Amino acid sequence: MLAELTYSCPLACAYCSNPVDLAGYREELSTSEWRRVLAQAQQLGVWQLHLSGGEPLLRRDLVELVACAHGLGLYTNLITSAVGLSRARAEALRAAGLDHVQISIQADEAAVSDRIAGTPSFDRKLAAARVVTELGWPLTVNVVLHRGNIDRLGAIIGLAERLGADRLELANTQYYGWGWRNRDALLPGRAQLDRAEAVVRAARTRLAGRMELLYILPDYYGRYPKPCMGGWGRRQLTVAPNGDVLPCPAAHTLPLPRASVREDPLARIWTDSPLFRRFRGTDWMPEPCHSCDRREIDYGGCRCQAFQLTGDPARTDPVCHLSPDHHLVTATVQAANDATRPPEQQLIPRPHRGRSV
C-alpha cells in the first residue's frame, strides 16, 4: 500500500505526478484516521507500506505512524526528498521501527539538482543519505529521468555508488500531473535514450552484487505498454491524503465513482467498490486487447494514460503499437526527435506547497 500522507512539498519539480489541483486534499486524514487505515490494511493482507507524499516528513505525526505500522508487523519504506531529515528525526524514526529509506535526487551536482528541484536542497539530500547509511538502514536512491538530466546518467550512478546506495531506481518521467503539463519539454530523444541504455548496461556489469540498478524506459518508447501496477486492483492500492482510495496514484483523474476510507472500510473498497472493480481482470477489455495473447501480461496498459491521451479510460493504452490511437504517441515521439527542437524548453514548475516540519 502506498500511503500518500500529504501533498505538501518543499520542492517544485516540474515532473511531479501529483495532482495539479490540490484544493480537494486540504483536509488530510488525522493521526487516528491513519492508524485505523493501517490496521485495516494489515487485516486486508497488506505487508509492505510505502510512506510518501508530497513530502511525508512534513507530517508531525510521522514517527507515531511508523511506530503504529511497525507494531502491526508492516514493512515500512519512507519515500522522501530528505529535506527535513535531520539526524534527530532519523534517529526517532529508526527507534520507531522504520525499515527502509528511499531518497530522491534530481542530478549529480548541486547547481543542476537545485534548479530541477526548484529550491536549494542537494547538499541536504547528501547529508541525509549519509545519516541513513550511518544508522544502518538500506538506502534506495531514486532519480526521475527526463531530457534535462538523462545525459548525466554516468555521473548520477557514480554519486549513488559514493553514497553507498543498495539500490538505484532510474525511472523516466511518468506524464501525469505537472509531468503531463511539461511533457513536450521533458520527453528525451531517442539518441539520449540509446546513450542512457549503454551507460546502464555497463554499470550493471560493473556493480553486480554491490548495487541493484533498476532502469525504466519511458512508456512512449515501448512497443507494448507496461502492466500498470501489476494489473488494476490486483496487487496494490494507494490512499491519498484526504482518504481517497485508488488502484494507482494517478487514478484520481479518471471519471469513476470515488472511494474513501472516511466512508467505507478498506476491505469493502478493495473487494466491492465500482472503482476497483471497473478494470479488474480482462472482461472489460475492448479489441485489440480482448483477443490479444498479452491481455494477462500487460492488462491493456495504463488506464490513466489511455484517458489522458484519448479521453476514454477503457481504450487500449495508445503506447501499444496495436492500439488504434497509437498515432497520438508516435506524433509526440516524432516531435521529441525533431532536429529543430530547441535544446531547452520552458518548464512550468510545480508551486511550492509546504509547511514547517
- Extract the annotated binding site for [4Fe-4S] cluster: 9, 13, 16
Which positions make up the binding site? 9, 13, 16
43, 62, 110 from 117: Cα distances, Å? 38, 23, 10
Closest of 247, 272, 244 to residue 258, by C-alpha = 244
The grid cell for 292 is 490479444
Within 10 Å of residue 163's Cβ, how many Cβ atoms?
A: 19
The grid cell for 343 is 535544446
Within 10 Å of residue 20's Cβ, how many Cβ atoms?
A: 15
Burial 289-305 (b: 16+ CB within 10 A, else e): beebebeeebbbbbbbb
What does the alpha-carbon distance between residue 72 and residue 308 come to, in Å, rounded to a whole number?
A: 38
User: 3-class DSSP state for residue 96?
Assistant: helix
Residue 58 has, within 13 A of its CA and on its CB side, a CA count of: 20
Which are the contacts of 75, defined by CB distance < 8 A and separation ≥ 6? 47, 48, 49, 99, 100
**Burial of 187 from C-beta contacts in 10 A (0-12 / 13-18 / 19+):** buried
The grid cell for 308 is 489522458
Place of cell 514547517: 356
Burial 134-161 (b: 16+ CB within 10 A, else e): ebebebbbbbbbbbbbbebbbebbebbb
The grid cell for 9 is 512539498
Which are the contacts of 32, defined by CB distance < 8 A and separation ≥ 6? none
For the chain, the residue count is: 357
